[in-house]
């Protein structure tokens, strides 16, 4: 949880980095919604499961990442050539 | 008192009479008619006319050429020269050029930063600063030498001025800064527009305490406000401008169509009050794009007619 | 130290996209302090470029690496083989390092990933400010330890100008008026009288104006 990190400021630093990474993802055309930072403790198993479900649903809705699509296209083109 | 130059301003100041100067901005065009017209509007009411040098860093017809146009009309211009756009080679060269046209006065300025103008991407020069430009002109005139030490066969003759802003920070060096400009060789000073009279008088007190008023002619800067909007703009957006709240209140207490007249009246009252301040040698009336009001201000302030000088 | 800022990814991409094999090369001293050009940043930039390349359908093999300093020969030892076989190098060093790499590898294209911005300090974590312009003729001794050349927008030898207001410069409220700082320092040092001394005209021949500068130690 916030302010209760075993490594003192570790999780707040991580949150800042994730925020910065989100802005970098935008520069390469990736929806920053694909990356999210949650605070939760080891004792919050049910919440963890909930987050995983929610996030999987969200990603499913967003569809495949543009990188995956690009790579797939490349592979198909390669197969086609052969 | 020894007269060094053919400057009308120098002669009037050294005769002990109050001087009146004004300024005209050159056009953003290659047509000289505008500046000539402005010059004629005010020529009978002022002793010399400052010509601004790409003021607020907006590109305009050059100050030197505009001065030549006024000179050809028989007027006595003050060449404003900023160190923002020219290095010491160009500055010295333009001084010789101005002197060759019989331009008798120069006002040495640093110049607004280019970020305020139409070319914020421009390189700025600032090889010398305004104080060093004063030193340069005096050296050229008095010693007949270029900065390099080379001799100038026919040295220029110019009455040398500088600006002072009593309202800028830090206040504690505003009098020492004037002393420094005098040490550099400034003979006359034109001040920033004065709205906060008390602060100006405080500065003048400091000037007199050091006897600086005996060493330089101080012309108090006067700019009439056209509206309460202009008063607020000057206060809020122009750094180094001190507009007291009472003045804004006074302007806003007047109907919109009478605010311009009120602004003129405030300017006249300011001149009348500052005439009584020891050490004030004259007035620099800057009616920005409102030159036609200069005669009225000068007349109502009891500064008309202007002395005749041969 | 030298401060730089990473160029927009799009600009970098336009420079490097024509190559088949690119080395993204960090410089782990000055520009690592400002988190723009260190070896870690080289790794991040390489990842971003890989993502960009795959989306654009461009085949580039992108390798990331780095050394401690790209401005001295001896630091290049560890990267010698890698650089020798690189088709092109994207250097995250300042302009000095980029040129050093270009000189070392005369036929390898080298591109700058950063804009070298200034010589500055770290006044707070993540906050860098310009303090020197390497004018070659230091005046800090007479200006109370505050540099008017780099910190006054008009580099005035005799400031402040009429635009100094509440300690700030007329061009921005985010910029301290250098001459306010100088006056305050002189006063704190009991040397305010020095304010009125006129310094000699600045000799700009020792600055960039005099051409590229160099100096050589005797007996090396």
Convert the pLDDT of each residue in B94-115 to its tens digit. 999 999 999 999 999 999 999 9
How many angstroms separate the CA atoms of B17 and B170, rounded?
32
Restricting to C residues 185-204, those with a Cβ less than 8 Å away from any Cβ of B are 187, 192, 195-196, 198, 201-202, 204
Q: Say whether A67 and C57 touch across the interface (CB within 8 A).
A: no
Optimal mutation site among A28, A71, A77, interface C, most CBs of chain C within 10 A: A28
Closest residue by Cα to residue C24 from C74, C83, C106: C83
DSSP B140: I
Task: Decide if pLDDT at B47 tops 90.
Answer: yes
pLDDT attached to residue B304: 97
pLDDT in tens, chain C (220 residues): 999 999 999 999 999 999 999 999 999 999 999 999 999 999 999 999 999 999 999 999 999 999 999 999 999 999 999 999 999 999 999 999 999 999 999 999 999 999 999 999 999 999 999 999 999 999 999 999 999 999 999 999 999 999 999 999 999 999 999 999 999 999 999 999 999 999 999 999 999 999 999 999 998 8
pLDDT attached to residue A81: 76
pLDDT attached to residue A2: 78
pTM: 0.93
Beta bridge partners of B222: B285
Instruction: Band the pLDDT of A3: cuts 50, 70, 90.
Output: confident
pLDDT attached to residue B1: 79
pLDDT tens digits along C61-93 = 999 999 999 999 999 999 999 999 999 999 999
Instruction: Name the pairing type of β-strands C114-124 and C2-6.
Output: antiparallel
Instruction: Band the pLDDT of A49: cuts 50, 70, 90.
Output: very high
| C55 reaches A (C-beta below 8 A) | yes
Q: Say whether B110 and C156 touch across the interface (CB within 8 A).
A: yes
Q: To the nearest whole number, what is the mean pLDDT of chain C?
A: 96
How many angstroms separate the CA atoms of C191 and A17, rounded?
47
Share of chain A above pLDDT 70, in %: 99
| C52 reaches A (C-beta below 8 A) | yes
pLDDT tens digits along B222-266 = 999 999 999 999 999 888 899 999 999 999 999 999 999 999 999
C-alpha C91: how far from its chain's center? Answer: 14
Instruction: Band the pLDDT of B34: cuts 50, 70, 90.
Output: very high
How many angstroms separate the CA atoms of B192 and B169, rounded?
13
Residues 6+ apart with CB under 8 A from C31: C2, C3, C4, C37, C38, C92, C93, C94, C114
Task: Decide if pLDDT at A80 tops 90.
Answer: no
pLDDT attached to residue A54: 95
User: Angle C9-16/C39-56 helices, nearest 10 degrees?
Assistant: 70
């Amino acid at each position: 949880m916030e302010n209760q990190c075993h490594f003192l400021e570790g999780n707040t630093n991580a949150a800042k980095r994730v925020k910065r990474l989100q802005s970098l993802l935008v520069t390469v055309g990736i929806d920053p919604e694909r990356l999210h930072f949650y605070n939760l403790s080891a004792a919050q198993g049910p919440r963890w499961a909930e987050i995983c479900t929610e996030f999987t649903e969200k990603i499913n809705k967003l569809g495949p990442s543009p990188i995956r699509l690009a790579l797939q296209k490349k592979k198909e083109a390669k197969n086609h050539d052969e | 008192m020894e007269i060094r130059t053919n400057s009308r301003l120098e002669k009037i100041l050294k005769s002990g009479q109050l001087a009146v100067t004004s300024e005209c901005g050159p056009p953003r065009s290659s047509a000289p008619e505008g500046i000539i017209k402005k010059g004629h509007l005010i020529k009978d009411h002022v002793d010399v006319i400052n010509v601004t040098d790409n003021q607020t860093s907006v590109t305009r017809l050059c100050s030197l050429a505009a001065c030549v146009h006024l000179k050809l009309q028989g007027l006595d211009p003050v060449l404003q020269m900023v160190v923002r756009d020219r290095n010491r080679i160009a500055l010295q060269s333009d001084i010789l050029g101005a002197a060759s046209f019989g331009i008798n006065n120069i006002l040495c300025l640093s110049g607004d930063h280019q970020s305020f103008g139409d070319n914020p991407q421009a390189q700025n020069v600032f090889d010398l600063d305004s104080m060093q430009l004063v030193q340069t002109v005096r050296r050229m005139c008095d010693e007949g030498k270029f900065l390099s030490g080379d001799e100038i066969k026919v040295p220029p003759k110019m009455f040398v001025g500088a600006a002072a802003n009593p309202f800028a920070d830090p206040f504690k060096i505003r009098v020492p800064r004037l002393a420094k400009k005098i040490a550099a060789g400034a003979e006359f000073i034109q001040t920033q527009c004065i709205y906060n009279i008390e602060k100006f008088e405080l500065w003048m007190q400091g000037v007199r305490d050091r006897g600086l008023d005996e060493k330089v002619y101080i012309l108090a800067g006067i700019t009439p406000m056209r509206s309460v909007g202009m008063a607020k703009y000057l206060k809020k957006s122009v750094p180094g401008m001190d507009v007291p709240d009472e003045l804004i209140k006074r302007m806003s207490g007047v109907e919109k169509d009478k605010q311009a007249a009120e602004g003129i009246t405030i300017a006249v009252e300011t001149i009348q009050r500052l005439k009584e301040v020891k050490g004030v040698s004259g007035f620099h009336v800057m009616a920005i794009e409102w030159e036609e009001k200069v005669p009225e201000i000068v007349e109502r302030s009891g500064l008309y007619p202007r002395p005749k000088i041969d | 130290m030298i401060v730089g800022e990473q160029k927009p990814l799009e600009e970098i991409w336009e420079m490097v996209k024509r190559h088949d094999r690119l080395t993204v090369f960090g410089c782990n001293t000055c520009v690592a302090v400002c988190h723009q050009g260190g070896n870690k940043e080289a790794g991040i930039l390489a990842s971003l470029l890989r993502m960009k390349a795959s989306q654009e359908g461009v085949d580039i093999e992108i390798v990331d690496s780095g050394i401690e300093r790209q401005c001295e020969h001896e630091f290049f030892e560890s990267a010698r083989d890698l650089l020798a076989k690189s088709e092109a190098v994207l250097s995250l060093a300042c302009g000095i390092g980029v040129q050093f790499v270009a000189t070392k590898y005369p036929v390898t294209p080298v591109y700058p990933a950063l804009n070298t911005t200034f010589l500055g300090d770290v006044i707070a974590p993540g906050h860098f400010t310009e303090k020197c312009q390497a004018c070659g003729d230091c005046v800090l001794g007479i200006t109370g330890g505050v540099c008017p050349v780099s910190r006054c927008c008009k580099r005035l030898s005799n400031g402040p100008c009429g635009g100094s207001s509440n300690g700030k410069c007329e061009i921005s409220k985010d910029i301290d008026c250098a001459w306010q700082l100088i006056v305050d320092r002189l006063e704190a040092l009991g040397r305010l009288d020095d304010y009125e001394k006129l310094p000699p005209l600045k000799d700009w021949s020792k600055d960039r104006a005099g051409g590229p500068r160099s100096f050589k130690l005797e007996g090396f």
